[in-house]
Structure 1
Amino acid sequence: MTKPRTLRAKSPADLLAMVPHVLGFHPEDSLVVMTVGDAEHPLHARVDLPDDQAGMAEVLAQIDQALARNGVRRVAVLTYTDDHCLAFELVSRLTHLFDAGGVAVVEAVRADGERWYSLTGCDGPCCPPGGTPYDVTVHPLTAQGVLEGQVTWRNRRELADSLVGTDLDAVEEVEAAADRATARFQATVAQPLGGPAPERARAHLVVEGRWVRKRVRRYLDDGVPLDSDDAGRLLVAMVSIEVRDVAWSLMDRSSAARHVSLWRDLVLRSPRDLAAAPAALLGFAAWLSGDGALAWCAVERCQESEPDYRLAALLSEALAAAISPASWRPVPEHLLTLFAG
Structure 2
Amino acid sequence: MTQSDRRFTPQPFSSDVASGLASEPEQRVTLRGPAELADALPYLLGYHPDDSIVVIAVHGEHGRFGGRIRLGIPSVPQEWPEAARQVAECLLAGSEAEGDRPTGAVLYLCQDARSGEEPSAVPVRLRPLAQELRAACVALDMPVFEALCLSGGRFWSFCCDDPRCCPPEGIELRPPGSSPMAAAATYAGIRVQGTLKELAARLAPLAPHRAPLQEQALDTAAADLLPRMLDVSAKEIVRARTLELAAHLLGRFSSSPPAAGRCPSEVDVSDDARISEAEAAALIVGLQDRITRDRAAEWMEGVDAQPALRLWRALGRRCVGAFTEYAAAPLTLAGWVSWSTGDETNARVALSAALEADPECVFARLLHSACNSGLDPEPLRGTLRGQRAAHGGRPEACRGAGAGPGPRPGPEA
TM bucket by the smaller chain? 0.5 to 0.7
- Equivalent position of 2:56 in the other structure: 33
Is the 8 Å Cα contact of residues 165 and 269 (structure 1) preserved in structure 2? yes
Provide the rounded CA distance (Å) in 2 between the counterparts of 1:63 and 1:254: 38
Residue 256 to residue 210, structure 1, CA distance change in 2 (3 Å): closer
Partner secondary structure for residue 108 of structure 1: strand
The Cα shift of 1:271 comes to 3.8
Q: How far apart, in 1, do the equivalents of 2:81 and 2:158 lie? A: 23
Q: Verify: 1:238 aligned to 2:287, yes or no.
A: yes
Deviation at 1:267, TM superposition (A): 1.7
Aligned pairs for 1:62-141 (under 5 A) are: 62-70=90-98, 77-80=106-109, 82=124, 83-84=126-127, 87=130, 90-91=133-134, 94=137, 97=140, 108-111=146-149, 113=151, 114-117=154-157, 119=159, 127-130=160-163, 131=166, 133-136=170-173, 138-140=175-177
- TM-score (structure 1 length as normaliser): 0.64
Check the 8 A contact 1:2/1:23 in 2, yes or no.
no
Residue type of the partner of 1:204?
A: V
Alpha-carbon distance, 1:240 to partner: 1.6
More helix by share: 1
Q: Take 1:173 and 1:251, find their aligned partners in 2: how far apart are those partners? A: 30
Report the CA distance shift for 1:175/1:137 in structure 2 as closer, same or farther (over 3 A): farther
Aligned mates of 1:300, 1:136 — CA distance in 2 = 34
Q: Paired residue for 1:61?
A: 89
Aligned residue for 1:140, secondary structure, equals coil
Deviation string 1:156-215 (CA, Å, 9 cap, x unpaired) is 56654553234567656766776786688599x6xxxxxxx6323323323433654675
Report the Cα offset of residue 281 of structure 1. Answer: 2.3
Distance in 1 (alpha carbons) for counterparts of 2:307 and 2:158? 40
Other structure's SS at 1:138 match: coil
Is this contact kept in 1: 2:85–2:133, CA < 8 A?
no
Residue 243 of structure 1: SS of its match in structure 2? helix
Same amino acid, percent of matched pairs: 20
Would the aligned equivalents of 2:217 and 2:281 in 1 still touch at CA under 8 Å?
yes
Give the RMSD, CA atoms, in angstroms: 5.1
Letter in 2 for 1:24: Y
Which residue is 1:227 aligned to? 275
Q: What SS is found at the alignment partner of 1:26?
A: coil
User: What is the identity, as a one-letter code, of the residue corresponding to 2:283?
Assistant: L
Q: Helix, strand or coil: the match of 1:19?
A: helix
Number of the residue aligned with 2:334: 282
Residue ranges of structure 2 left out of the alignment (5+ in a row): 8-16, 19-28, 110-122, 259-270, 392-397, 399-413
Distance 2:368 2:202 in 1: 19
User: If the length of structure 2 is used for normalisation, what is the TM-score?
Assistant: 0.55
Residue 166 and residue 94 in structure 1: after superposition, are their counterparts in 2 closer, same or farther (change >3 A)? same
Partner of 2:42: 20
Q: Residues of 2 paired with 1:134 and 1:253: CA distance?
A: 45
- Does the 8 Å contact 1:216/1:247 carry over to 2? no
Q: Residue in 2 aligned with 1:198?
A: 232
1:208 paired residue number: 242
Contact 1:31–1:49 (Cα < 8 Å) also in 2: no
Task: State the distance in 1 between where 2:202 and 2:72 align.
Answer: 20
- Cα–Cα, structure 1 residues 323 and 220, in superposed 2: closer, same or farther, change >3 Å? farther
Offset of residue 329 of structure 1: 1.7
Deviation at 1:238, TM superposition (A): 0.8
